[in-house]
Amino acid sequence: MKYSNFMEVTFKALSVNEGFARVCVASFCVQLNPSVDEITDIKTAVSEAVTNCVVHAYPSSVKGDVILRCELEDDLVTITVTDKGVGIKDVEKAREPFYTSKPSEERSGMGFTVMESFMDDVRVASNSFGTSVKMTKKISQACEQVVG
Amino acid sequence: MQIKSRVHGGVLYVLLCGELDEHSATYTRITLDEIFDKPDFNKIVIDLSELSFMDSTGIGVLIGRYKRMKDKSISIYIANPSAHAEKIFKMTGLYDIMPKIV
Ligand SMILES: Nc1ncnc2c1ncn2[C@@H]1O[C@H](COP(=O)(O)OP(=O)(O)O)[C@@H](O)[C@H]1O
Ligand SMILES: [Mg+2]
């Protein structure tokens, strides 16, 4: 391993922070020289994971924290989005396309499916103390100076 | 999110400008429903050329509008999606209910 870097931010689970989270990760990843498509894929996956913390993790009006971590190891981007909310009882079911626990709110139930198709790998760990979504993506033409 | 609309030849053209995510979803829903409730058109075209970002929340918003207009027998079409939006539309089968027009 030649290159290694990370950043971590914590913010309140409010929808106004979704745009912030996307831009934050995108600007951090720029050092790997990703393509516009790769950046858009990453922004979309981050948006899905953060939106889930905003919409599902904290059902009471008291909103908790979202911890957004982005690690770079050579040409590999790893993004972890963690909340300390209610958790997901059946992760396998939650990941099914079109499954949503809030159909009355016009949710599509496609959040996890979008994350899976825009990233190389998506892992979900959840219990009654919260949820953590870990996603990885390889940057195809990662910056020469960075990766060597 | 900024929404512009005009009616031309019985067609309502709606231009979505900005980012469609959970944060802008409520405003987008309310504004589109207000525009869609006017009775002076029989077809809707949603132009996405100025949409700079969309995630699966956008799919929920679009399907919701489709369901409302279906009751009035008014069809909705999508114009000028980005390659990225297109990927999400194909993944979710949105074009089956809101075809793309060129
Ligand atoms: N961070 C989270 N905390 C609690 N529940 C979650 C979380 N993320 C996802 N879920 C559950 O998984 C389901 C599927 O998520 P997703 O695919 O993004 O669809 P949607 O958000 O449209 O419901 C949600 O409806 C919710 O029940
Ligand atoms: Mg979701």
Q: Is the pLDDT of residue A144 over 70?
A: no
Would you state the structure tokens that stand for residue A135, as one six-digit string? 């996603």
Cα A110 to ligand 1 centroid, rounded to whole Å? 9
Q: Is A53 in the pocket of ligand 1 (CB under 6 A)?
A: yes
B63 touches chain A (CB under 8 A): yes
Q: What is the pLDDT of residue A147?
A: 60
Could you give the CA distance from residue A62 to residue A58 in angstroms, rounded to a whole number?
7
| B102 — pLDDT class (breaks 50, 70, 90) | confident
When CB atoms are compared, the residue of A40, A41, A48 closest to B56 is A48
pTM (2 d.p.): 0.96
Chain B hits for A22, CB-CB cut-off 8 Å, are 53
Residue A52 known to be catalytic: yes
Q: What value does the mean pLDDT take over residues A21-49?
A: 97
Say how many C-beta atoms besides its own lie within 10 A of residue B85's C-beta: 22
Interface test with A, best of B33, B56, B86 (most A CBs within 10 A): B56
Q: What CATH number is given to the structural domain containing B85? A: 3.30.750.24
- A137 contact partners, CB below 8 Å, separation of at least 6: A38, A41, A42, A45, A76, A77, A118, A119, A120
Give the mean pLDDT of B57-79. 96
What distance in Å separates the CA atoms of residue A127 and residue A90, rounded to the nearest whole number?
10
* Contact of B52 with B19, CB cutoff 8 Å: yes
Judged by a CB distance cut-off of 8 A, whether residue A38 touches chain B is no
**Cβ neighbours of A51 in B, within 8 Å:** 21-22, 55, 57
Count contacts between A and B (CB, < 8 Å).
61
Q: For residue range A54-112, list pLDDT tens digits in order.
A: 999 999 989 999 999 999 999 999 999 999 999 999 999 999 999 999 988 999 999 99
Q: What 8-state DSSP symbol labels residue A20?
A: H
d(CA B95, CA B88): 10
Domain count, chain B: 1
Most informative mutation of A88, A124, A126, A134 for ligand 1 (most atoms within 8 A of CB): A88
| Phi, psi angles (nearest 5°) of residue A52 | -60, -35
For A123, half-sphere exposure in the C-beta direction (CA atoms, 13 angstrom radius) is 7
The confidence score (pLDDT) of residue B39 equals 83
Ordered domains of chain A (ranges, CATH): 4-147 (3.30.565.10)
**Smallest CA separation from ligand 1 atom 16, residue:** A111
**Pairing between strand B11-20 and B51-54?**
parallel
H, E, C per residue of chain B:
CEEEEEEECCEEEEEEEEEECHHHHHHHHHHHHHHHCCCCCCEEEEECCCEEEECHHHHHHHHHHHHHHHCCCCEEEEECCCHHHHHHHHHHCHHHCCCEEC
Residue A30 is given by DSSP the state: G
Q: What is the ipTM of this complex?
A: 0.95
Ligand lying closest to the C-alpha of residue A107: 1
Give the sheet arrangement for strand A65-73, strand by strand: A4-12, A65-73, A76-83, A130-138, A121-127
Q: Is the pLDDT of residue A148 over 90?
A: no
Instruction: Give me the pLDDT at residue A139, please.
Output: 96
Cβ of A56 closer than 6 Å to ligand 1, yes or no, is: yes
Task: State whether residue A108 sits within 8 Å of chain B by CB.
Answer: yes
Domain coverage including residue B84:
2-101
Nearest to B55 among A37, A48, A117 (CB): A48
Confidence band, pLDDT 50/70/90 cuts, at residue A145: low
Q: Given CB atoms, is B61 within the 8 Å cutoff of chain A?
A: yes
| pLDDT attached to residue A143 | 76
Q: Region B80-85: what's the mean pLDDT?
A: 97
**Mean pLDDT score of chain A, rounded to an integer?**
95
| DSSP-based three-state secondary structure for A27 | helix
